[in-house]
């Protein structure tokens, strides 16, 4: 059990891989942590797991963005179908007028009205799904910022431990620099969170607008 955190550190480093390397030029070398007793590494458990959890959430955000993209494609197919129905209804009215068939024209006019409302609903569906996709993309950026923050906190904790345990490799790192990096990442993450909340609010409003029309709860025009 005492080696559990050491294994977690190694797994986290493997998950991060080359793509995550270099985000901060003074990222702690795992070889330096090897100079610390395994029992002392237990204190890193929370920050090491924090990186893993942030990476999991980033992948979940990417999966959600792919689903949102599928919603947009479906909405566009619905819009295409409604546009075809509108064209057919318009053509039927013209044919009825050409034949001076009043009864046929009245029936076609009713169909046209329905087609127009269906098209309006389809356009609102597109607007909602487009906003959902935008919101999902912003959540990815927020999740990436969360990974950067988690990594910064992890590295700051590693440096602190190296200093605390007086490990030979501790002289290579400046705790103040790592803490500055944490502060910078916190600010970036905060901005990303606020942006994500704003986009989520827009998506909620777009959905409400679609649902209102879809349920035939039309808002009267303002005078």
For the stretch 102-133, pLDDT in tens is 888 888 788 888 888 888 888 898 899 999 99
> What are 200-211's pLDDT values in tens digits?
999 999 999 989
- The radius of gyration of the chain's CA atoms, rounded to the nearest angstrom, is 29
For the question of whether the overall pTM of this predicted structure is more than 0.85, the answer is: no
* pLDDT for 55: 96
Q: What are the residue ranges in the chain where pLDDT is below 50? A: 1-3, 6-7, 10-11, 13-24, 217-223
Q: What is the pLDDT of residue 16?
A: 46
Question: How high is the pLDDT of residue 112?
Answer: 80
Torsion (CA) 32, 33, 37, 41 in degrees, nearest 10: 170
């Amino acid at each position: 059990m005492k080696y559990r955190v050491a294994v977690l550190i190694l797994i986290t480093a493997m998950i991060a891989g080359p793509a995550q390397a270099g985000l901060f030029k003074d990222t702690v070398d795992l070889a330096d942590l090897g100079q610390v007793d395994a029992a002392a590494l237990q204190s890193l458990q929370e920050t090491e797991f924090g990186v893993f959890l942030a990476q999991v959430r980033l992948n979940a955000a990417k999966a959600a963005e792919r689903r949102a993209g599928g919603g947009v494609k479906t909405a566009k197919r619905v819009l295409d179908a409604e546009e075809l129905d509108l064209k057919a209804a318009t053509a039927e009215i013209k044919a009825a007028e050409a034949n001076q068939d009043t009864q046929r024209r009245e029936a076609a006019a009713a169909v046209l009205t329905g087609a127009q409302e269906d098209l309006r609903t389809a356009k609102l569906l597109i607007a909602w799904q487009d906003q959902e996709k935008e919101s999902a993309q912003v959540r990815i950026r927020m999740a990436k910022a969360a990974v950067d923050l988690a990594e910064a906190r992890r590295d700051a904790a590693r440096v602190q431990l190296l200093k605390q345990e007086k490990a030979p490799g501790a002289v290579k790192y400046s705790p103040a620099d790592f803490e500055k990096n944490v502060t910078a990442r916190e600010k970036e993450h905060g901005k990303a969170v606020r942006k994500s909340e704003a986009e989520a609010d827009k998506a909620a409003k777009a959905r409400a607008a679609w649902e209102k029309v879809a349920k035939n709860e039309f808002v009267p025009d303002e005078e």
